[in-house]
A and B are shown apart, each in its own frame.
Chain A
């Protein structure tokens, strides 16, 4: 998605430097990256009205397509044919979620010393139903305290 954004935005709507700053911010901030990017670039070009239009533009195609599928799928959810397809798809979905765990562990340089953090987080959410919101807050605080008192 980023190359597409660069082609459309960089040079025409905003400078190269601004574009890279916006990408960095859109990726690190919470929320959906594409929406963050739309709001940032829209704001840069035309203020609040610009960001509103850009966000609508980023959201509406997905919104319409998914709604059409959802309305259609409700009628076929209990169709035996569709049920069999999804019995095959569901385990594959789990696999799709597992792959980025391992890829991210590599890029985030998780070692034997730090691997307890993702494991503990996973167990707390999975086995105890702890809200990810609390864990994100705790993680930010933990990172801050560690950096302040340990290094």
Chain B
């Protein structure tokens, strides 16, 4: 039963996830953490962190890891990963010709004009949802958040470097 639900959930995510890996965080968060309550926010945050530093597409990393975390089995990983890819098969094979013909059409452009600001909102929502007591435990967390933001935003610091540095700072700040 849980496998069926997991499949359906990730199929839906694969079908509606416009906007790449960051927007997908919002989808998984809403379905798996908020609606189903299968894993906690802090568990999910760890999954996002590990998915960012592991090579390969972040979306695949997150689906594989979430599938495992929810079911504690390799089958869960396989189901979630296959489900998130399946809509791509259907869409790519069926609509590729159609899309290439109509890509410059006004209606397609109008639709994407609506999608773009919405995707930004979804990514912002993902960040806001993760700002809870499990992740932001005290003022030191706030400083870490601000510091990491500043490092990436202003100095374009490498993602792996920032996560490694904040892990070391975690060790120092929380004895």
Residue of A nearest to B22 (CB): A100
Interface residue tally on B, bucketed by range: 35 or more
Which among B12, B15, B93, B149 is the interface contact of A48 at CB below 8 angstroms? Answer: B93
| Residues of A contacting B142 in the complex (Cβ-Cβ under 8 angstroms) | 91
Q: Which B residues lie within 8 Å of A74 (CB)?
A: 72
Asked if A39 meets B88 with Cβ closer than 8 Å, knowing A31-B17, A141-B114, A147-B109, the reply is yes
Q: How far is the CA of A101 from the CA of B158 in the complex (A)?
A: 17
Find out whether the CB atom of A96 lies under 8 angstroms from the CB atom of B152: yes
Whole-angstrom CA separation of A141 from B118 in the bound complex: 12
- Tell whether A24 pairs with B103 under 8 Å between CB atoms, given A32-B84, A93-B48: yes
Tell me the complex Cα distance, A25–B113, Å: 16
Interface set of B (CB-CB < 8 Å, partner A): 12, 14-18, 20-27, 30-31, 34-35, 42, 45-46, 48-52, 54-57, 59-61, 64-65, 68-69, 72, 74, 77-78, 81, 84-85, 87-89, 91-93, 95-96, 99-100, 103, 106-107, 109-131, 134-137, 141-142, 144-149, 152-153, 159, 162-163, 165-171, 173-175
Known: A40-B92, A66-B50, A90-B45. A97 touches B85 (CB 8 A): no
Contacting pair B174 A87 (CB below 8 A): yes
* Sample of 26 A–B contacts (CB below 8 Å): A28-B18, A29-B91, A31-B91, A32-B17, A40-B92, A48-B93, A70-B65, A73-B50, A85-B170, A86-B46, A88-B167, A88-B171, A91-B148, A92-B49, A92-B165, A94-B127, A101-B123, A118-B117, A118-B120, A123-B125, A126-B128, A129-B35, A132-B122, A133-B27, A136-B122, A147-B113
Distance in angstroms from B16 CB to nearest chain A CB is 5
